[in-house]
A and B are shown apart, each in its own frame.
Chain A
Amino acid sequence: MRLTLRQRQSVNGFLFILPWLIGFLVFVARPFAHSIRLAFSKVDMMAGFKLSYVGLANFNEAFFIDERFVPILVTVIQRNLVDVPIILTFALFTAFLVHQKIRGVTIFRAIFFLPVVIASGLVVERLFQQQVGSIEAVVGLDVPTLVYMYLPAQFADIVIDVMTRLTLILWRSGIQILLFIAGFQGISGTLYEAARIDGATDWEIFWKITLPMLSPIIIVNTIYTIVDGFTDIFNPMVNFLRTVAFSGSFRLGYAAALGWIYFILIFILIGAVFISSRKWVYYGGEREG
């Protein structure tokens, strides 16, 4: 059988992505569908994972009976909403510094990427238990009392929470710094030249050129940071789900339901970021076809 050029291209393309497609079907799509069924069932592990349909009981339990789930969920959302802007601002700022053409900058780049290399969940968790990462260790002041003196209690709790995790938060920005550096390098120098000739100040150039040109990366980084924040092991939800599913009671159906609630939440959050991004993301020149 002879194929047209176009058909041959299709076949070849398909062959290249075939391993991925098989992997997707076996390790993502099927488990994904399976977990929906699990979420509405009770799993009997002794009888070879036999499922019995229980309707919305698992979801009902998650929201109205289990008193651990909702508070953890709230903490996780709250932390993420606070952490994402901090990480992004910090990463952008650091990348900006490292992007300067000054001596010895490669050493700093190498150091700033260190967290990605050794951020072995456990090791970092252990380090930060010892308070090396808290603000007191860095500044040497009794900050909490100060904060509680000047801020309303509810707000102060969040501030303290951020402060005790500050280095931990900064340690999560390695990849983001990297992406921003790549982004800075992608901005063509002619834009800056043109702006300077027109008499723009550095400040104006940053807001009117650098930031809009970086906006596609900002969105990538935002999504990466959200996903990373929801799945890293400092996240109390990750531990909670593991406990429900695998220690002692093996409540697999309930764990699947919790996993689904969690997923829907992430999906909504990222969807919101995406939709809002249409307003502020600038895609220069032609979009890819």
Chain B
Amino acid sequence: MEYREKHRLSTSGIPWTLVILRKVQRYFFLGLVYLLLIDIAFAFLLPVIYMASSSLMTVQDFLDPGVYWIPRAVYWDNIILAYQSMNYLVGLKNSATIVLFATLGQIISCSLAGYGFARFRFPGRDFLFMLVLFTFIVPPQTIIVPLFILYRQLGWIDTFMPFTVPAFLAHGLRGSLLVLIFRQFFKRQPYELEEAAYIDGCSPLRTYAQIMLPLARPALLVVFLFSLVWHWNDYYEPMMYLMKPQNFTVPLRLQILQQGLQEITGGAAGEIFNEPLVMAACFLVVIPPLVLYLFAQRFFVESIDRTGLVD
């Protein structure tokens, strides 16, 4: 004890000065990390906050340079007006139908394909898997014209078939990426469970459905959220294949609303006067996936760790 005090050593035998230096270093590093994290989070949140706050402002508040972020009084009329003029409920019904079927289809078919590629050997497998990757890099713009012609001949224009049928066949929006995620996940699982099932006389399809799929919950959640969010936000394809206004999805309705306002006010000069209304409409587009994410977020962040997205 005396020796330690005499030589100013800590209990672990390291000089006190060094211990303090390390502590300072550690806190400095920690402070820096938090500072950067908050900064980046700010850049991500700013547009969302802007959208939320300006959709609750009157035009006077919005144009008043004295009003920052917080409106003088909460003004719900923008949201109500946007809701009515977008015919939101009809749009929500259309969007929900497309998203529901497309997501379900992709989950089923992409997990099947991912499992097939991960767990079975068959001639041409590696070549076919190359084709999966190839599909990913073909831009939709290259094949959109023939697809349009195909759907027209099939009579699928102005129906939801162009979104749901490819989804059930492991294509649709970024289907190849989802196949890849499932393949990576199944590849990491141990073989013992399946072998036990086969020895007990279980068919491959049943093994997949009753043993492997329940195990794949993290991957399923990730794919579910990706697929859902991508389908909800997509507006390139709906714009191509939907012509009648009653079939329009929510993002399409936002587009129509914007165009309508532009016509009324006559282009860019008038735009700023509608800004709160347009922001309210944007907010309505964003709300459903946002609410869902708020609920799923905890499981989602955990799932990412367990999916083994990259291997």
Indicate if the CB atoms of A31 and B40 lie closer than 8 Å: no
Q: Are A17 and B139 in contact (CB under 8 A)?
A: no
Determine if B310 and A179 form an interchain contact, defined as CB atoms under 8 angstroms apart.
yes
Query: With contacts A16-B208, A126-B258 known, is A27 near B290, CB below 8 A?
Result: no
Measured in the bound complex, the distance between the Cα atoms of B301 and A233 in whole Å is 27
Shortest beta-carbon distance, A186 to chain B, in Å?
6
Interface pair A241/B301, CB less than 8 Å apart: no
CA distance A220 to B204 in the complex (A): 31
Residue A189, interface by CB 8 Å: no
Contact A132 B289 (CB under 8 A): no
Q: Which of B123, B136, B239, B275 contacts A10 (CB 8 A)?
A: B123
The answer to whether B142 has its CB under 8 Å from any CB of chain A is yes
Kindly report which residue of chain A lies nearest to residue B32, judged by CB atoms. Answer: A97
* Prevailing SS type, chain A contact patch: helix
The smallest beta-carbon distance between B189 and chain A, in angstroms, is 14
Contact A27 B166 (CB under 8 A): yes
Please tell me which stretch of B15-23, B74-82, B146-154 contacts chain A, meaning at least 4 of its Cβ atoms lie within 8 angstroms of it: B146-154
CA separation between A230 and B36, bound complex, in Å?
30
- Give the residue among B122, B148, B293 with the most A Cβ atoms within 10 A: B122
Q: How far is the CA of A183 from the CA of B236 in the complex (A)?
A: 32
Binds B, one of A62-70, A155-163, A256-264: A256-264
* Count, chain B residues at interface, CB 8 A: 92
Cβ–Cβ < 8 Å partners of B37 in chain A: 97-98, 105, 108
Q: Which residue of B lies closest to A241 (CB)?
A: B141
User: Given the interface contacts A170-B44, A220-B310, does A16 sit within 8 Å of B142 by beta carbon?
Assistant: no
A31 and B150 form a contact (CB under 8 A): yes
B132 / chain A contacts, CB cutoff of 8 Å: 20
A106 at the interface (CB under 8 A from B): yes
Q: Which chain B residues border A19 with CB–CB below 8 Å?
A: 109, 112-113, 168-170
A13-B122, A19-B168 known; A270+B137 contact, CB < 8 A: yes
A119 CA to B229 CA in the complex, in Å?
Answer: 9
| Interface residue? B285 (CB, 8 A) | yes
Query: What is the CA–CA distance of A128 and B47 in the complex, to the nearest angstrom?
Result: 8
Q: Chain A, interface size: which category? A: 35 or more
Most central of B140, B142, B304 by chain A CB within 10 Å: B142
**Which chain B residues (285-302) contact chain A, with CB distance < 8 Å?**
285-286, 289-290, 293, 297-298, 300-301
Do B139 and A122 touch across chains, with their CB atoms under 8 A apart?
no
Given that A117-B293, A252-B145 are contacting pairs, would A24 and B171 also be in contact in the complex, using a CB cutoff of 8 Å?
yes
Instruction: Please tell me which stretch of A32-40, A77-85, A141-149, A192-200 contacts chain B, meaning at least 4 of its Cβ atoms lie within 8 angstroms of it.
Output: A32-40
Contact with A along B192-229 (1 / 0, CB 8 A): 00000000000011001000000000000000011001
Contact of A255 among B48, B51, B145, B300 (CB under 8 A): B145
Which residues on the B side are within 8 Å of A10 (C-beta)? 120-123
- Report the Cα distance A205→B96, complex, angstroms: 48
Chain A, residues 133-152, CB within 8 Å of chain B (1/0): the string is 10001100000000000000
B2 within 8 A of A: no
Asked if B301 and A110 sit within 8 Å, CB to CB, the answer is yes
| Cα(A10)–Cα(B144), bound, Å | 34
B116 contact set on A, CB distance < 8 A: 13-17, 20
Task: Answer whether residue B57 sits at the interface, using C-beta atoms and an 8 A cutoff.
Answer: no
Q: How far is the CB of B276 from chain A (nearest CB, A)?
A: 11
Distance (Å) between the CB of B234 and the closest chain A CB?
8
Q: Closest CB-CB distance, B76 to chain A, in whole Å? A: 20
Q: Is the CB of A17 within 8 A of B113?
A: yes
**How many Å from the CB of A227 to the closest CB on chain B?**
6
B139 near A16 (CB under 8 angstroms)? Answer: no
Q: Which chain B positions have C-beta within 8 A of A130?
A: 50, 275
The interface residues of chain B lying within 8 Å CB-to-CB of A24 are 131, 135, 171
Which residues from A are CB-within-8-Å of B120?
9-10, 12-14, 16
- Whether B139 and A182, one on each chain, are in contact in the complex, defined by CB atoms closer than 8 angstroms, is no
A216 at the interface (CB under 8 A from B): yes
Q: Is B117 an interface residue (CB 8 A)?
A: yes
A59 to chain B, nearest CB (A): 14
**Interface membership of B90, Cβ < 8 A:** no
Q: How far is the CA of A105 from the CA of B36 in the complex (A)?
A: 12
Q: Which of B136, B144, B179, B285 has the most CB of A within 10 A?
A: B144
Partner of A115, one of B44, B137, B205, B298: B44
A127 surroundings in chain B (CB, below 8 A): 47, 50-51, 282
Contacts of A230 in B (CB 8 A): 139
Check: B89 CB closer than 8 A to any chain A CB. no
Q: Which residue on chain B has the smallest CB distance to residue A166? A: B43
A245 contacts the other chain (CB 8 A): yes
Contacts of A6 in B (CB 8 A): 121
What chain B residues lie within 8 Å of A72 (beta carbons)?
Answer: none
Task: Find out whether the CB atom of A9 lies under 8 angstroms from the CB atom of B122.
Answer: yes
| Interface residues, chain A, with chain B CB atoms under 8 Å away | 6, 9-17, 19-24, 26-28, 30-32, 34-35, 38, 49, 94, 97-98, 100, 102, 105-106, 108-124, 126-128, 130, 132-133, 137-138, 167, 170-171, 178-179, 181-183, 185-186, 216-217, 220, 223, 227, 230-231, 233, 237-238, 241-242, 245-246, 252, 255-256, 258-260, 262-263, 266-267, 270, 288
10 A–B pairs (Cβ distance < 8 Å), ordered by A:
A9-B121, A102-B30, A112-B41, A114-B45, A122-B251, A122-B282, A138-B46, A181-B304, A181-B305, A255-B144
Known contacts A34-B146, A114-B45, A238-B141, then 4 further A-B pairs from the complex at CB < 8 Å, ordered by chain A residue: A24-B171, A115-B44, A217-B310, A255-B144
